[in-house]
Amino acid sequence: MTPTSLLQVGGLAPLSTVDWPGELAAVVFAQGCPWNCTYCHNPHLLPAGEGCVPWADVIAFLQTRVNLLDGVVFSGGEPTVQAALGDAMREVRALGFKIGLHTGGPHPRRFAEVLPLVDWVGFDVKAPFADYEGITGVAGSGERALASLRALVESGVDFEVRTTVHPDLLGEEDLERLSIELAEEGVARWAVQAYRPDGARVGLRNTRLYESGVPASVRARFTEFVFRAG
């Protein structure tokens, strides 16, 4: 196979057991993100750039992992900022891999375009949708995320919603509000992830959410609720 995608790749993880629950996957980290989230763990991927791993090298590696890995997850950064995402997914699927996608949904149109190519989505929800700007630093980001979430729910593609929580950014009342919004949108699986300072930006207090800090009423709204301590 001759690679045709122009996807700009900022990193490649050869094996992950956590980026796609239940699957053995390689993870492709796409370069670029339009948001500037306070707790970002991959700030080096935020600027749009050429990346550091040629797409041809990604394909060459994946060819050695056929029948050894279940799938490939496109993560970031934010993969949907790149117009080449669809072509990259098609090339990977042609090798026989299932396709996973990590996204926050900042580009609803492109997200909808690639959804038919995807087997599973890890959808990042930052906060109650009206409060997004406080996390992302970008006006209107909540509206875009909500539009993408609605497209995802309607698509029938398997997914989970994940929310990273730092107590100074999302309190108990915020979790309550967000849980109501997600349940009303038809979300069945919600994973709440405790903020981890390792690798993240400086500036936030070194404090964290514990499982006991998630109200029972929040858990009860979902068919499957997962707490990840990090």
Q: Which residues contact 129 (CB under 8 A, 6 or more apart)?
A: 142, 143, 145, 146, 181
**pLDDT of amino acid 157:** 98
The sign of the torsion formed by the CA atoms of 18, 98, 113, 78 equals: positive
**Tokens 């339009």 appear where?**
34
Domain locations in the chain?
A: 9-228
**Tokens 């700007």 appear where?**
133
Q: In terms of Cα–Cα distance, which of 120, 109, 37, 41 is closest to 80? A: 109
**pLDDT of amino acid 180:** 98
Q: Which CATH architecture describes the domain 9-228?
A: Alpha-Beta Barrel (3.20)
Mean pLDDT confidence for 166-174 = 90
- DSSP letter (8 states) at residue 139: T
79: Cα separation from own chain's centroid: 9
**CA 27 – CA 135 distance, rounded (Å):** 25
Residue 30 has pLDDT above 60, yes or no: yes
Residue 197 has pLDDT above 80, yes or no: no
**pLDDT of amino acid 88:** 97
**pLDDT of amino acid 195:** 85
Structure tokens at 195: 């903020």
Give me the chain's average pLDDT, please: 93
Single-letter code of the amino acid located at 135: I
Residue 183 has pLDDT above 90, yes or no: yes
How does pLDDT run across 138-164, given as a tens digit for each residue? 999 999 999 999 999 999 999 999 999
Structural contact between residues 176 and 218, judged by C-beta atoms closer than 8 angstroms? yes
**pLDDT of amino acid 111:** 98
How does pLDDT run across 68-108, given as a tens digit for each residue? 999 999 999 999 999 999 999 999 999 999 999 999 999 99
Question: Nearest 5°: phi and psi at 71?
Answer: -160, 180
Q: In terms of Cα–Cα distance, which of 78, 76, 98 is closest to 89? A: 98
Residue 128 has pLDDT above 90, yes or no: yes
Under the banding of pLDDT at 50, 70 and 90, the label for residue 1 is low
**CA 103 – CA 41 distance, rounded (Å):** 14
Kindly calculate the radius of gyration of the chain based on its CA atoms and give it in whole angstroms.
17
Residue 200 has pLDDT above 60, yes or no: no
